Amino acid sequence: MKRKKVTAALLAIAVGCTQFSTVLADRKSDAEQKKQEAEAGLESKQGEIDAIEQKQEELQGEINALDAELVNVMIELSTLEEELAVKQDELEQTKADLKQAKKDEKSQYEAMKLRIRFMYEKGGTEMLTSILESGSIADMLNRVEYVNEVYDYDRDLLTKYKNTKKQVAQLKKQQEEEVAALESKQKEYQVARENYETTIEQKKGEVADFDTKLAAAQELAAEYQDTINAQNTIIAEENERIERERREREAAEAAAAAARERAAREAAERASIVAANEGSESGESSVEKGNDGGSEDGGSSDGSGGGSNEEAKDPGYRTGVSGSDVVNYALSFVGNPYVWGGKDPNTGADCSGFTSYVYAHFGISIPSYSYSQRSVGQEVSYSKARAGDLICYSGHVAIYMGNGQIVHAKGTAYGIVAYDSATYRPIITVRRVL
């Protein structure tokens, strides 16, 4: 009777576990739904991040081109300033030359008027007397020629001064036009420089706006990734719970079946004993034989279901790589940033990118995804974990340092850190890859 109650109790527990599992399965479904939503959001944000980065590259290219054009304008302005300074100096000299030419022309004109007045107004008869008193025709002609030469000299000299003044005036006009043209061109380049500078500042402002948008998108993407990691943890916990409950249920069912089998066997034994007491000696032998068979049968059933040792074996080192060397190399990246999808801890990496990079340094190639890393190397129990082993969690991986501590790319808010407890999250598996 007592065994029947035990059997009923075990069956009730098994049924209760099934109902409890059904209720808790909603937690897993909810986590999977949230994970899918977060993955969709992350994919959308990643596309937005890619678009922002592309726009930033385009803007930077435009800024670089504008900078190059601005440099050319500045060079041209500098050249114009030099040319303009030279032309202005030349113009000032020409103005001074023109002033002197006008002065020389006026002086020559006044001298010529004075000579004419002297020769004609005061000394007209003297000139005629001088010619008539000449001793010979040759002398007379010489005197007449001299007078003509004086007139010609004065007239040529005056003409020369007039031409010089005219040429200087033309040169002044030409230089004034050249200066005006250079000044106009200088203004055009100054306007162009101001326009380039304004446009460059506008482009830089747009880049700053995209920097803000990129930071916001990256922050939201990190939140989505954190949500995915959290939901992965919940899903892993639920999978472990479901598996544990399945085993418990199977164990309960096996125990119940064993109890029923034992009860049936004991009932058969009691019936054999009764028959032996009422039967002949041959019957007693039969009973003894039956008892021998019963004890032998019972010896093979210990109620444990023939359970096996599930603890993973320690495979030892296979590569000859020192676990402490792996840990020391991993510690060299502590303080560097966590970058989702990053593969190089020098510039930023996520958890699986960090572990695959560290092992690759020692010639050990593993996948760069946390889920795939759960099956690399050989499994060992956490109690046998050694420095350099890979600790796998739901949606996360780390490198075991020894003494219950890990080094890992923890998350956006933490970066690459060390000395965290290895059991800060439920461990799925420990893998030896060395």
**Per-residue pLDDT tens for 164-201?**
778 878 877 887 888 888 888 888 888 888 888 888 88
Q: Would you place residue 287 in the very low, low, confident or very high pLDDT band (cuts 50, 70, 90)?
A: very low
Q: Would you place residue 403 in the very low, low, confident or very high pLDDT band (cuts 50, 70, 90)?
A: very high
In CATH, what is the architecture of 1-301? Orthogonal Bundle (1.10)
pLDDT for the residue 379: 94
* Greater model confidence, 196 or 305: 196
* Greater model confidence, 420 or 274: 420
SS3 string, 263-326, reads HHHHHHHHHHHHHHHHCCHHHHHHHHHHHHHHHHHHHHCCCCCCCCCCCCCCCCCCCCCCHHHH
pLDDT for the residue 338: 94
pLDDT for the residue 305: 32
Protein fold of 315-434: endopeptidase fold (from Nostoc punctiforme) (3.90.1720)
Is it the case that residue 357 has pLDDT exceeding 90?
A: yes
pLDDT for the residue 311: 42
Indicate the range of 139-153, 277-291, 294-308 predicted with least confidence. Answer: 294-308
Compute CA 100 distance to the chain's CA centroid, rounded to the nearest angstrom: 72
Question: 298-307 — which CB contacts under 8 Å span 24+ positions?
Answer: 298/262, 298/265, 301/258, 301/261, 301/262, 303/255, 303/258, 305/250, 305/251, 305/254, 305/255, 305/258
Domain ranges of the chain: 1-301, 315-434
pLDDT for the residue 230: 83
Report the distance separating Cα 172 and Cα 194, nearest Å: 33
Q: For residue range 220-245, what is the model confidence (pLDDT) as tens digits?
A: 888 888 888 888 888 888 888 888 88
* Greater model confidence, 238 or 15: 238
Residue 278: how many other CB atoms lie within 10 Å: 8
Is it the case that residue 423 has pLDDT exceeding 90?
A: yes
Q: Would you place residue 128 in the very low, low, confident or very high pLDDT band (cuts 50, 70, 90)?
A: low
Indicate the range of 60-74, 150-164, 351-365, 410-424 predicted with least confidence. Answer: 150-164
Most confident of 58-67, 132-141, 273-282, 345-354: 345-354
CA angle 14, 15, 17 (to 5 degrees): 65
Is it the case that residue 296 has pLDDT exceeding 50?
A: no
Mean predicted lDDT score pLDDT of the chain: 77
pTM of the complete model: 0.37
Is it the case that residue 304 has pLDDT exceeding 80?
A: no
Q: Which is nearest to 408 in space by CA: 416, 230, 328, 333?
A: 416
